[in-house]
Amino acid sequence: MTGDDRSVSRRAILAATGSAVALSTAGSAHDDESSDETESDWSDRLRRCPEATIQPSMTHCRGASMDGCSDDHPATQKLQNEVRTALERRYPDIGAIIERGYKPYFDTVFDGGDDASGGWSHWLNPEYIGDDETLNPDRPESILVDNEWWRPIGAMFIATRSGEPIERPPAVYGEGGSESEGEDEDETETTDERCSPWHSHTGLPGRFAWWYYRQTYEGAYRDGELLLPCRTPCLLHVWTVPHPDGVYAHGGPPRANRGGPPAEDPGFDTDARPGEDELDWDVLPEDVVPETKPDEWRARLGLVS
């Protein structure tokens, strides 16, 4: 996308989304009612996204189950090892991640992720999000990067087919979990041996992050997709560094578990140094940085944490 294209996109989204985004920011009792809202406005918001919240929140995807998930299960160890190998061979540094088409997203949560589990970023690949594969360690839809050491620390798989969310993603292992199963199947039916740790974000930070990706890198506004989604597609983390909550944990690992040393070579020209400077928009090549970054969009659209 050229600079001119980005400017046109920014103007087009701003012109089209002001009221549309405002009407889709929330839905549940976690939201603060506005004195300017009519009863009808509030009812419409609740009806559209009843699970949505202002604060970070998530829900299990259809057919998901953590009951059988175990870090020492052969299938978990195989998937984790395959992800680790892919990161080492195909995505060893930020330069390689950029060259393979990944786009940065630094705002893990609205407050900047300053707690002990913050300081990591998502890098999303539009090509892999748009293909027909799911759970391919060589083509993860998202790579998770530690911003201090400038190294990948895991992958996030996004359950989409041709860019559209898969309602019921396949299990990592165990019976059931195929998105092709019948609509009338009991969604709560699971087995003790089954592991399908897919989750979807229903809180404003996650919903905004997906909206930002879709508008910035897929031009969703051109097709009239202006509202924030009620939830993100189904997501699945695979951490390749030790995590007290397990390989599939939703949140990031503690900073102390991410190790080092810092990346010897970031893989692109920069005066910043891994381990000394934080990986952020300011240190990336100009052609990788979007015209309008996430915090600027939130300010323009009146979204607050």
User: How sure is the predictor about 10, in pLDDT bands with cuts at 50, 70 and 90?
Assistant: low
Distance CA 97, CA 140 (A): 11
Q: Which domain holds residue 16?
A: 3-177+193-301
- The reply to whether 164 falls in a domain is yes
- Report the pLDDT value the prediction gives residue 86, as an integer from 0 to 100: 98
Kindly tell me if the per-residue pLDDT of 280 is higher than 60. Answer: yes
- Report the pLDDT value the prediction gives residue 1, as an integer from 0 to 100: 47
From the number of C-beta atoms within 10 Å of its C-beta (0-12, 13-18, 19+), residue 280 rates as middle
Q: 193-218 in b/e burial notation, b at 16+ Cβ within 10 A?
A: ebbbbbbbbbbbbbbbbbbbbbbbbe
From the number of C-beta atoms within 10 Å of its C-beta (0-12, 13-18, 19+), residue 127 rates as exposed
Contact 221, 252 (CB under 8 A): no
Q: What is the mean pLDDT of residues 219-235?
A: 91
Contact 255, 117 (CB under 8 A): yes
- Report the pLDDT value the prediction gives residue 262, as an integer from 0 to 100: 93
Kindly tell me if the per-residue pLDDT of 185 is higher than 80. Answer: no
Dig out the tokens for 237 from the structure.
Answer: 């983390």
pLDDT tens digits for 106-132? 865 544 444 566 799 999 999 999 999
Kindly tell me if the per-residue pLDDT of 36 is higher than 70. Answer: no
pLDDT tens digits for 38-62? 544 544 555 679 899 988 899 999 9
- The reply to whether 120 falls in a domain is yes
pTM value? 0.83
Kindly tell me if the per-residue pLDDT of 176 is higher than 60. Answer: no
- The reply to whether 187 falls in a domain is no
Instruction: Tell me the torsion sign for CA atoms 47, 48, 53, 58.
Output: positive
CA distances from 192 to 166, 174, 178, 195, 241 (A): 24, 9, 17, 8, 26
Contact 153, 120 (CB under 8 A): yes
- The reply to whether 185 falls in a domain is no
- Report the pLDDT value the prediction gives residue 115, as an integer from 0 to 100: 59
Half-sphere CA count of 42, side-chain side, radius 13 A: 11
CA distances from 55 to 9, 10, 29, 217, 246 (A): 28, 26, 11, 25, 24
Distance CA 165, CA 205 (A): 19
- Number of domains within the chain: 1
- The reply to whether 113 falls in a domain is yes
CA distances from 206 to 8, 89, 231, 233 (A): 25, 29, 8, 10
- The reply to whether 188 falls in a domain is no
